[in-house]
């Protein structure tokens, strides 16, 4: 084993669709090619978006695809105390403020700073936001290249603890990536614009910065990202080897067509032996049905 540690971190809001298989396979190949560890973390801290049975269905699909993970699965719902501790640290260091704005009265982003100086205290329907410095955060993505975001004007002070008393994704993800010693994050490029927020939190919490590689997204015919919310077809009904071969093709690896008739372990062994990160395209693309 090398020091590399990757991870796949699905939210159990529905079964795996082709786009999430691409992310799982890409991070698995990158980790295994580096003789590293590959973890699965279930990001189950958003009860309103969770679907009963989705976590188990996701794990069954990963198993059917032969994407074996190392160690036990981390369920974020068991980690609330760690997120509270990180929140407490940020509060003690003066990086946060309480906010009673609702999405209705402030719209999406950037946050206009309404509650920043009001000195509100904790209470029902009160979120906690982090004060975002007026600074451009730059990251060197291993596939997408240099990505810069002026965080204050693009996003503004963002929520780290939700008004429904749940940790926000950005806080939980940085706490766990550090706690699990994740060194390399390979995920879909829909999260590229979230990464500067995560880099800021890593810095404020004194956590290491992992390497990032954001994969192209699989889009539907309307050009929208395949997502569990848009009810992209689950891959469960498709033979796993065919799904893997299609995902390899999407990742630019040019697998031979007849590979779809091989076993899952043969497909993965060949994929690993021929894994060429330089062939992975940057741009997101429309995908049709898997044949
Ligand atoms: N749980 C997030 C999702 O399913 C991904 C988190 C991540 O890879 O950082 O979109």
pLDDT in tens, 43-60: 999 988 999 999 999 999
Please report the atom of ligand 1 found closest to the CA of residue 188.
8
Of the three residues 131, 149, 171, the one that is the final residue of a domain is 171
Mutate to test the pocket of ligand 1, among 8, 173, 176, 199 (most ligand atoms within 8 A of CB): 173
Confidence of residue 232 (pLDDT cuts 50, 70, 90): low
Q: Does 160 lie in the same domain as 107? A: yes
Residues 160 and 181 in one domain: no
Residue 190 shares a structural domain with residue 261: yes
Q: Please determine, for residue 240, whether its predicted confidence score (pLDDT) is greater than 70.
A: yes
pLDDT of 228 over the 70 cut? no
State whether 61 and 151 are in the same domain.
no
The CA 190 to ligand 1 mean position distance, Å, reads 9
Distance 9 CA to ligand 1 centre (A): 5
Query: Which residue, of 171, 203, 233, is where some domain finishes?
Result: 171
Ligand 1 pocket by Cβ (under 6 Å): 9-11, 43, 173, 187, 191
- Residue of 47, 44, 70, 66 lying closest to 56 (CA atoms): 44
| DSSP 3-state of 194 | helix
Whether 185 and 244 map to the same domain: the answer is: yes
Q: What is the mean pLDDT of residues 28-55?
A: 96
- Residue 291: inside a domain: no
Q: What is the pLDDT of residue 224?
A: 77
Distance (angstroms) between ligand 1 centre and the Cα of 94 equals: 28
Question: Which of 171, 198, 218 lies at the terminal end of a domain, its last residue?
Answer: 171
Bigger pLDDT: 288 or 138? 138
- pLDDT score of 229 more than 70: no
Distance, in Å, from the CA atom of 73 to the CA atom of 60, rounded to the nearest integer, reads 13
Q: Which atom of ligand 1 is nearest to the CA of 20?
A: 4
Cross-strand partners of 147 = 139
User: For ligand 1, what atom is nearest to the CA of residue 23?
Assistant: 8
pLDDT at 136: 97
- Is residue 86 domain-resident? yes
Whether residue 200 sits in one domain with residue 280: yes
User: For all residues of the chain together, what is the average pLDDT?
Assistant: 93
Q: How many domains does the chain have?
A: 2
The four Cα atoms 22, 24, 29, 30 give a dihedral, to 10 degrees, of 100
- For residues 74 and 87, state if they share a domain: no
Residue identifier of the C-alpha nearest atom 7 of ligand 1: 9
Q: What is the pLDDT of residue 226?
A: 73
Q: Which domain holds residue 109?
A: 81-171
Summarize the confidence of residues 99-111 as an average pLDDT: 84
252 within domain boundaries: yes
Looking at residue 162, which CATH number applies to its domain? 3.40.50.620
Residues 54 and 155 in one domain: no
In a domain, 128, yes or no: yes
Q: Which atom of ligand 1 is nearest to the CA of 8?
A: 8
Residue-wise pLDDT tens digits, 107-158: 777 999 999 999 999 999 999 999 999 999 999 999 999 999 999 999 999 9
Looking at residue 95, what is its pLDDT?
A: 98
85 with 147, same domain? yes
Rounded CA gap, 37 and 28, in Å? Answer: 9
Q: Is 103 domain-assigned?
A: yes
Q: Is residue 99 part of a domain?
A: yes
Cα 8 to middle of ligand 1, angstroms: 8
Q: pLDDT digits over 260-271, tens only?
A: 899 999 999 999
Span from the CA of 11 to the centroid of ligand 1 (angstroms)? 6
111 located within any domain: yes
The answer to whether residues 224 and 91 belong to one domain is: no
- Find, among 206, 258, 185, the residue nearest to 27 by Cα: 185
Dihedral, CA of residue 223, residue 229, residue 231 and residue 233, to nearest 10: 80
Same domain (yes/no): 90, 14: no
Q: For residue 131, is it within any domain?
A: yes
Is 209 found in the same domain as 164? Answer: no
Distance of CA 167 from the midpoint of ligand 1 (Å): 14
For residue 27, the CA-to-ligand 1 centroid distance in Å is: 12
pLDDT for residue 227: 66
């Amino acid at each position: 084993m090398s020091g590399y540690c990757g991870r796949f971190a699905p939210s159990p809001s529905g079964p795996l669709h082709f786009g999430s298989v691409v992310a799982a396979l890409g991070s698995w190949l990158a980790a295994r090619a580096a003789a590293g560890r590959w973890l699965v973390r279930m990001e189950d801290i958003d009860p309103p978006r969770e679907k009963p049975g989705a976590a188990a269905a996701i794990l069954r699909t990963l198993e059917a695809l032969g994407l074996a993970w190392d160690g036990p699965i981390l369920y974020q719902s068991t980690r609330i105390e760690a997120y509270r501790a990180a929140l407490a640290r940020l509060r003690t260091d003066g990086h946060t403020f309480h906010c009673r704005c609702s999405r209705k009265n402030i719209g999406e982003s950037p946050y206009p700073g309404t509650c920043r100086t009001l000195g509100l205290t904790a209470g029902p329907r009160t979120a906690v936001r982090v004060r975002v410095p007026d600074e451009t955060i730059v990251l060197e993505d291993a596939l997408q290249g240099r990505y810069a975001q002026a965080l204050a004007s693009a996003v503004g002070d963002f929520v780290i603890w939700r008004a429904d008393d749940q940790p926000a994704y950005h806080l939980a993800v940085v706490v766990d990536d550090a706690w699990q010693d994740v060194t390399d994050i390979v995920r879909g490029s829909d999260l590229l614009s979230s990464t500067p927020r995560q880099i800021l939190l890593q810095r404020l919490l004194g956590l290491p910065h992992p390497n990032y590689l954001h994969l192209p997204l699989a889009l539907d015919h309307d050009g929208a990202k395949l997502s569990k919310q848009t009810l992209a077809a689950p891959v469960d009904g498709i033979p796993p080897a065919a799904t893997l071969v299609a995902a390899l093709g999407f990742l630019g690896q040019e697998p031979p067509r007849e590979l779809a008739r091989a076993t899952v372990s043969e497909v993965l062994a060949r994929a690993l032996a021929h894994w060429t990160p330089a062939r992975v395209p940057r741009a997101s693309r429309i995908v049709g049905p898997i044949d």
